[in-house]
Amino acid sequence: MNSEDLIRFLTQSLADRKLSGAEKSALTDWLARNVRTDQHRGLVRHCAFEVARTATVDPAAGELVEWLEDVMKVIAPLGGPQGADAPRAGADEAFFAPGEDCLHRIVHRFGACRRTADVCVFTVTDDRISRAILDAHRRGVAVRVITDAEKQYDAGSDVQKFRAAGIAVKTDDIHASAEPGLNGHMHHKFALFDRTRLLNGSYNWTRGAADVNFENVVDTADASLIAAFAAEFERLWNRF
């Protein structure tokens, strides 16, 4: 599913603030060809709200759009139990790139989490993931991010956006230390959601990972793995 095509279509449709009959037919046709799962439908819904939010000039109206999106997530949760194709709560699944399956699962988990999101990744430059992180933060999810000290200054890095939004961020900015093992990169790529789901794999949170790289993400509810990664996150959080 190419979300960029959808965003272009929605942006053009919004220009006259109307969804014409022809546009409804075109959108219906696009959905029939591209949307296969409840997760995809949730991403489509998120894109529509993002387009509306971007076009909003009045801050009060922007808050109204955010309120409506949050209401819709309660009424029809992304990946909720009502859909036959929705991710099962206890399912362990693997996703692969190139392609957008890994991206969609990462965005899905930020949309579905309600309390906490602990992120420990080498770099974050994909704006689609960054928007999902910021959306979770605005919903009241307690987000913490650990990332590599050098990669935060890369072109396209969204780490400063997170800090500006009030998200707690730490980096391994201790390379000058003489302590053994502190001169390498913070190269993890994992995230914990509500301490009930774990995403882990080779997938960097970049557009290149989705577009050209051979990568993987595993989404698991295995309690022993969640406990192990949660302990590693807390160890690094306290160390940096």
Give catalytic residues, as residue numbers.
187, 189, 194
CA distance readout (Å), 229 to 1, 174, 198, 200, 226: 31, 22, 8, 9, 5
CA distance readout (Å), 197 to 22, 65, 149, 200, 224: 41, 28, 26, 10, 11
- pLDDT over 60 (residue 180): no
Q: Please tell me which residue, 1 or 100, carries the higher pLDDT value.
A: 100
- Report CA 111 to chain centroid distance, whole Å: 7
Q: Find, among 94, 107, 124, 98, the residue nearest to 186 by Cα.
A: 124
Q: Please tell me which residue, 160 or 3, carries the higher pLDDT value.
A: 160
Mean pLDDT for the chain overall: 85
Q: What is the pTM of this model?
A: 0.65
Fold observed for domain 93-239? Endonuclease; Chain A (3.30.870)
- pLDDT over 50 (residue 85): no
Strand partners for 95: 217
- pLDDT over 90 (residue 96): yes
- The ranges assigned to domains in the chain are 3-75, 93-239
